[in-house]
Structure 1
Amino acid sequence: MKIRRIAWALIALGLAAALLGSVTAGAQEVETTSESSGDLQLVILHHNDGESQLVQASSSAPDYGGVARFASLVHQLRSQATDDGAAVITISSGDNFLSGPELSVSLGDDSPFYDALALNLIGYDALTIGNHEFDLGPDLLARFITETTTAPFISANLDFSGEPVLAALVEQGRIAPSTVVEKQGRSIGIIGATTPELTYISSPRNVAVMSNVAEIVQAEIDRLTGDGVDIIVLSTHLQALSAESDLAAELTGVDAIVAGGSGALLADESTVLLPGDGDPYGPYPLTATLADGASVPIVTTPGDYTYVGQLILTVDADGNVTAIDDTSGLRRVIGGEEADAVEPHPDVQAQVTEPVAAALAELAATPVGTTEVPLDGRRSPGIRTHETNQGNLLADALLWNGQRLAADFGVPEPAVALQNGGGIRNDSVIPVGPISLLETFNISPFGNLVTVIEDVSPAQVKVLLENAVSRVESSSGRFAQVAGLSFVYDPAGTPQEIGEDDTVTTEGSRVQSITLDDGTAIVSDGAVVADAPSIALVTLNFLANGGDQYLFGDGTRTHLGLTDQQSLAAYISEGLNGTIPAADYPEGGQGRITAMTAEMDDMDDGMADMTGTDEMADDMEGEELPATGAESRLLFILAATLILAGLLLATATRNRKRLTI
């Protein structure tokens, strides 16, 4: 009997170790849940990157997403949690609107800001400022904040003093580094942080961006905790989840991080996903380690009003997170006949969805032309990794408009056009058939101005194209689509690096040759040709002003009075007489951009396998999948050993008993 008790004890220990290993690997249990009366169940409802996707997730998925369904789900989850006695806070982690056809509806005379109206009807405790809020400049952001009346906008590392209209909102408390929410007698501090890359991926004008994010955020944590705030939530828009993990390693006193900008899908096997979503980037939540060794959960959503995140924490009387409820996770936004379908919120449907949908229907009914060939505007692999026929179309449109309008504006005709992949936004393959005015907005939504830059030297042209291919491995939006020249680059070469002062700190060696369409060599064998000429170049004002770290030199810049969307529409309807010919825009491009090795094809395939979805590649640079800790593996090995030993001992005992009988 004693041996049997030992055997079963070993098995029990093994099962306990297996359970502990499972908890450690999943990072769901922080420590034993306290039963004290001071516990608070805190539910954080969150999303990010709504990006004006107000009507539906996409034209091909009318039952997915949409801000009216999203609002219904948020209200439903908030009500359920409140009825269960939980404290609920609701956070958006940035990119609350995005230039495009939906936003254009808000820019008409006497139109409300529909994105702001939707956010008011949903109800938030804090709204973090992302990069896309600045795409059309600080003045539009100021209008958006003014019309979003329910919550403060937060960012600790932005200085708004150089923009009077935003500085006034700081004085009014509408913009702040953080906000404090009182729930059930507990003070919850929510701190905001915005990507330090803001100055070259958007247009903040005179808003100063401070890059010492960890130092600034820690100072705000210390200030809040010094004021008696015992629960700290950090809401960030840093573009990549690896950035949040790195930031966490420099901080203490953070209880949860709600991230935006990466587009990552975090989910477990039990999460019900929208049809077509690929493999998750990692579990919900991810876990990072703070500077003092404590663990902190990191959560995010894929954006576009397709999911509501729900992080459920148990917080003790001292403000320590003691448990993460295993029902935490994403809740999909879906209609139709699905069991978890939600009806659109009636007020949001009437005041936002219906007027925006009506305006989009009018754009969709306005023809621009037709295409004889599928146009590839996918992000990765696609316009951010190599030449595509849709990228060529955009670049050709810039060159055609630049040349036809040059005389009207007194500038030389540009010889070359440069379009950044990040400015092409439809992220799809447009099929053979009609092209509507709405489609041109979907492709070129930002309203950037067509701009001619004079006297661009051959050395500067090399710097431009070195920048274009400097981050191709991470599908950066700076990858260029070009017209008027062709170039060859070596992916194995040294990538160019540019410092914060807009100077080249590491010269690139990737670009091997650049040749104008008339045969003039600009670069040969990696070196600038001695007698190569300077040229005029047409691009977008975002890039001309240093966006995506493009350095064009000191040549005169002249706006030609039309946007990128207008440039594309005019080129299709007038420049191509309404037909995009397959002969001129073959699938795969025309050989304008050539990688010297097959390395890029292998990289594209690997990138697609890693992400499982094209959307996840948007702005996600240098991500790594989270690894299971060594301690979890050791626990499972220990569990297996103990269980095996127990079973062997029990078997031996049974056999011994049989022999005795």
Structure 2
Amino acid sequence: MIRPQLRVKRLAVSIALLVALPSSAFALEGLSILHIGDQESWLLSAQGNLRDDPSQALSFYGGIDRLASVIDQQRTAATAAGYSVLTLNAGDAFLPGPRLSASLSNLASAYSDGGQDFYDAMAMRYIGFDAAVFGNHEFDLGADVAARFAQVSGTTYLSANLDFSATSAFSALASSGTVAPGIITTTTAGNKVGIVGLTTPLLPTISSPGAVSVIGNTAGASAEQNLIAAAALAQGQIDALRAQGATTIVMISHLQNAANEINTVVPLLSGVDVVVSGGGHELMADADDVLIPGTTASINAHPVAVQTADGNSALVVTSNFGNRYVGELVVTLGDDGRVVRDAAGIPIVDSSAMIRVSGTGADAILPDATLNATVVQPVKSFIDGLNATIIATSEVRLNGDRGAAGAPGSFNAGVRNAETNLGNLMADALRFAGQTEVAIQNGGGIRASIAAGEVSVGDTFNVAPFTNLVKTAQNVSAQQLKVLMEHTLAGASASGNATGQFGQISGMQVRYDTQLAAGARVLDIVLDDGTVLVKDGVVVNLERLVTLATIDFLAAGGDGYPFVLAGVEFDNAVNSVTYQEALLAYITASTADGGLGGQILASRYGIENPLDRQGRLIDLAIAAPVPEPETYAMLLAGLGLVGFMARRRNRNAQPA
């Protein structure tokens, strides 16, 4: 339902419009845009794999069935008030992991044509979207799965900068109109609204699109240059839709961060009215929006007005992630079919809201019974089976958080900006699976933390949800290893800038300085056996070659990794072990075989501190130097920490 304060806003704005508009302008039409994005297979709840569990308050929020009820409620109220409604999806509708695995396991022949269906697609068809944009995660399992999902999603998937002729499946979908650069939809009053899609130019490096290419991308160009090229393609589609009679333009863009739309793309466009952003997980909310407990808005406005190249402005909105919120933006279309603007060219906002999806409290909503029965319950049963299979116990929480920037030396450490214990565990698992001396795992491939206590099979899927396969190389030189480490640290900073390329490592210690220029930050690389490969930024060992394990996503250039450019030659072998399977095997293998024997000990995987000079990744820009040995020993003895520090040093001793 429409909240009372929103009705007041609508009434006040409508009266103001009637006073401000010329007397001939009587054919006003309200347009309600309901928007979501970054659903990422969070079908059960905002917690992930639990539903309405008293031990996890977050599990009472989110859920695809409750989201469907919120959308239906808002759509019904808007229609009753005389508004037309657009329901838009900003991409990343699914994410590989245990919840998507339920679809792959249960629905292999479930669709009406006898082929693969998806619980996520079942929910999309049931809710009904006017359009969706391709995000990066749609391609995580390859182009064929992306095409199949679009085919059964029940909506039109859009992107003005993807080549839909690249595969036979996509070409067929383009011919049928299931995928397109843009579309025109007609409102109740007969106004034509053009909808344009735009996908992140980073797609080839952060996902697995195969033969599907990003039009206008230039190899070696900066991220901003490729965004500018994407903006030109979007403009071409905007112009084409306007030439076909569209009077209002809405762009759905999945550019990984709303700042890319706000700062780079939208200012280059002309003739666009509203932009629905996806990919960045930002929570955009006004002061009167009721948020899920424990969350805060990262952008304190919904929408944000951004000046465009034609001197007007467009409204930019985004809606967090994981089926936690439904965004609503209401504007008015004038008698010319265009969004009504004020004297400064800014679209007038009739009302806006970020509506939380809640199963508890005063705003609790009843879940949609159909989706609860056909999607939530079967997925929950599948997950319950995984979670019931306990493989280990952990003495500590394993940190798989993304990490967030802050003041230098006081940022929130996560797998994308610092060494963490889960990052170490993942890298060790790759090294164990590949039987190599060193390993590199990108932080972007680690998707969840693990709580202290029992560890289940489900936890390993949550942490390592993609179909990344273990790859090995036998003859990696110190120079090549330095090039790789320079890349993994290129986006790091003393303030904790988080990037997916940030590497978690095994088998070596790397000292670096983020105050130095990217590409010249690695000062020392020392193998676990004490061999020094790099000293004071200079490669000092030209003879020693090391064996290396990583994932095929990175080996193929994912996250921009320069394995090919550096000349690293990988083993020409059939890869069949995923990094999830490597993690599972490492945790469960006996200690005699180099595994953990089902015990994740604090002495080996304790919480890492980015401010000390212990561990594997040491940023000398923020890490405090260790006192002289005698002073240090006396200090530790006084604090009773001698044994603790000895255990800490032993954490670098990894499996053979």
Q: 2: distance between equivalents of 1:481 and 1:80?
A: 49
- Work out whether 1:449 is the aligned partner of 2:449: no
TM-superposition CA deviations, 1:509-568 (whole Å, max 9, x none) = 111111111222221111222524232210111111100111112403445421111111
2:621 corresponds in structure 1 to 597
Q: 2: distance between equivalents of 1:435 and 1:541?
A: 26
Q: 1:531 to 1:343 in 2, by over 3 A?
A: same
Q: Please report how far the alpha carbon of residue 162 of structure 1 lies from its aligned counterpart in structure 2 after TM superposition.
A: 2.2
Q: 2: distance between equivalents of 1:369 and 1:342?
A: 37
- Work out whether 1:224 is the aligned partner of 2:238: no
> Which aligned pairs between 1:39-50 and structure 2 lie closer than 5 A?
39-50=28-39
- Work out whether 1:421 is the aligned partner of 2:438: no
1:350 corresponds in structure 2 to 373
> Which aligned pairs between 1:35-74 and structure 2 lie closer than 5 A?
36-58=25-47, 59=50, 60=56, 61-74=58-71
Q: 1:481 to 1:172 in 2, by over 3 A?
A: same
User: In structure 1, what residue type is equivalent to 2:447?
Assistant: R
User: In structure 1, what residue type is equivalent to 2:274?
Assistant: A
TM-superposition CA deviations, 1:91-133 (whole Å, max 9, x none) = 0011010011100011114353100000001100001000011
Q: 2: distance between equivalents of 1:290 and 1:371?
A: 52
1:83 corresponds in structure 2 to 80
- Work out whether 1:335 is the aligned partner of 2:359: yes
* Secondary structure, counterpart of 1:376 in structure 2: coil
2:417 corresponds in structure 1 to 385
Aligned partners of 1:418 and 1:482 also within 8 Å = yes
**Higher mean displacement: 579-588 or 64-73:** 579-588
Q: 1: distance between equivalents of 2:22 and 2:397?
A: 59
TM-superposition CA deviations, 1:443-465 (whole Å, max 9, x none) = 11112111112332322211111
Q: 2: distance between equivalents of 1:521 and 1:34?
A: 78
Q: 2: distance between equivalents of 1:254 and 1:107?
A: 39
TM-superposition CA deviations, 1:607-638 (whole Å, max 9, x none) = xxxxxxxxxxxxxxxxxxxxxxxxxxxxxxxx
2:114 corresponds in structure 1 to none
Q: 1:393 to 1:463 in 2, by over 3 A?
A: same
Alignment equivalent of 1:484, drawn from 507, 524, 527: 507
Q: 1: distance between equivalents of 2:355 and 2:339?
A: 26
Q: 2: distance between equivalents of 1:475 and 1:559?
A: 33
Aligned partners of 1:491 and 1:600 also within 8 Å = no
Q: 1:349 to 1:208 in 2, by over 3 A?
A: same
Aligned partners of 1:258 and 1:298 also within 8 Å = yes
* Secondary structure, counterpart of 1:248 in structure 2: helix
Q: 1:282 to 1:599 in 2, by over 3 A?
A: farther
CA RMSD of aligned residues (A): 2.0
1:573 corresponds in structure 2 to 588
> Which aligned pairs between 1:234-245 and structure 2 lie closer than 5 A?
234-245=251-262
TM-score in terms of structure 2 length:
0.81
Instruction: Flag structure 2 segments of 5+ consecutive residues without an equivalent.
Output: 1-11, 51-55, 111-116, 216-225, 342-346, 404-412, 590-594, 626-656
Q: 2: distance between equivalents of 1:127 and 1:573?
A: 41
Q: 2: distance between equivalents of 1:260 and 1:188?
A: 20
**Higher mean displacement: 39-48 or 529-538:** 529-538
Q: 2: distance between equivalents of 1:34 and 1:526?
A: 70
Alignment equivalent of 1:556, drawn from 553, 570, 580: 570
Q: 1:110 to 1:78 in 2, by over 3 A?
A: same
- Work out whether 1:531 is the aligned partner of 2:542: yes
Aligned partners of 1:491 and 1:599 also within 8 Å = no
Q: 2: distance between equivalents of 1:185 and 1:419?
A: 53
Alignment equivalent of 1:320, drawn from 335, 339, 346: 339
* Secondary structure, counterpart of 2:584 in structure 1: helix
Q: Please report how far the alpha carbon of residue 32 of structure 1 lies from its aligned counterpart in structure 2 after TM superposition.
A: 4.5
Aligned partners of 1:311 and 1:324 also within 8 Å = no
**Greater relative contact order (CA < 8 Å, ≥ 6 in sequence):** 1
How many correspondences in the alignment?
A: 549
1:173 corresponds in structure 2 to 177
Aligned partners of 2:532 and 2:541 also within 8 Å = no
Q: Please report how far the alpha carbon of residue 229 of structure 1 lies from its aligned counterpart in structure 2 after TM superposition.
A: 0.8
TM-superposition CA deviations, 1:333-390 (whole Å, max 9, x none) = 0012x22211111111111111001100111100111112221111112111111111
1:258 corresponds in structure 2 to 276
Q: 2: distance between equivalents of 1:32 and 1:332?
A: 34
* Secondary structure, counterpart of 2:33 in structure 1: strand
1:411 corresponds in structure 2 to none
User: In structure 2, what residue type is equivalent to 1:214?
Assistant: A
> Which aligned pairs between 1:359-508 and structure 2 lie closer than 5 A?
359-380=382-403, 381-403=413-435, 414-426=436-448, 428=449, 430-473=450-493, 474-495=497-518, 508=519
Q: 1:320 to 1:586 in 2, by over 3 A?
A: closer
Q: 2: distance between equivalents of 1:325 and 1:568?
A: 50
2:530 corresponds in structure 1 to 519
Q: 2: distance between equivalents of 1:591 and 1:276?
A: 31
TM-superposition CA deviations, 1:27-72 (whole Å, max 9, x none) = x99x946672222211100011000000101032221000000001
* Secondary structure, counterpart of 1:119 in structure 2: helix
User: In structure 2, what residue type is equivalent to 1:307?
Assistant: Y
Q: 1:357 to 1:327 in 2, by over 3 A?
A: same
TM-superposition CA deviations, 1:159-178 (whole Å, max 9, x none) = 13222222221122111001
Q: 2: distance between equivalents of 1:549 and 1:32?
A: 52
Q: 2: distance between equivalents of 1:514 and 1:341?
A: 54
> Which aligned pairs between 1:200-215 and structure 2 lie closer than 5 A?
200-210=205-215, 211=226, 212-215=229-232
Q: 1:577 to 1:315 in 2, by over 3 A?
A: same
Aligned partners of 1:34 and 1:316 also within 8 Å = no
Q: Please report how far the alpha carbon of residue 260 of structure 1 lies from its aligned counterpart in structure 2 after TM superposition.
A: 0.3
User: In structure 1, what residue type is equivalent to 2:321?
Assistant: G
Q: 1: distance between equivalents of 2:196 and 2:325?
A: 22
1:135 corresponds in structure 2 to 140
TM-superposition CA deviations, 1:270-323 (whole Å, max 9, x none) = 111111112432311111110122111100011100000101001212213335
Q: 2: distance between equivalents of 1:482 and 1:576?
A: 18
Q: 2: distance between equivalents of 1:476 and 1:191?
A: 28
Q: 2: distance between equivalents of 1:244 and 1:43?
A: 21
Q: 2: distance between equivalents of 1:34 and 1:377?
A: 57
1:153 corresponds in structure 2 to 157
Q: 1: distance between equivalents of 2:618 and 2:28?
A: 61
Structure showing greater radius of gyration is 1
Q: Please report how far the alpha carbon of residue 269 of structure 1 lies from its aligned counterpart in structure 2 after TM superposition.
A: 1.1
1:541 corresponds in structure 2 to 552
Q: Please report how far the alpha carbon of residue 435 of structure 1 lies from its aligned counterpart in structure 2 after TM superposition.
A: 0.1
* Secondary structure, counterpart of 2:597 in structure 1: coil
* Secondary structure, counterpart of 2:384 in structure 1: helix
Aligned partners of 1:81 and 1:88 also within 8 Å = yes
Q: 2: distance between equivalents of 1:463 and 1:559?
A: 26
Aligned partners of 1:384 and 1:476 also within 8 Å = yes
TM-superposition CA deviations, 1:403-422 (whole Å, max 9, x none) = 1xxxxxxxxxx211111111
1:406 corresponds in structure 2 to none
Q: 1:389 to 1:123 in 2, by over 3 A?
A: same
Q: 2: distance between equivalents of 1:89 and 1:598?
A: 49
Identity rate of aligned residues, in percent?
42
Instruction: Flag structure 1 segments of 5+ consecutive residues without an equivalent.
Output: 1-22, 404-413, 496-507, 602-661
Aligned partners of 1:512 and 1:525 also within 8 Å = yes
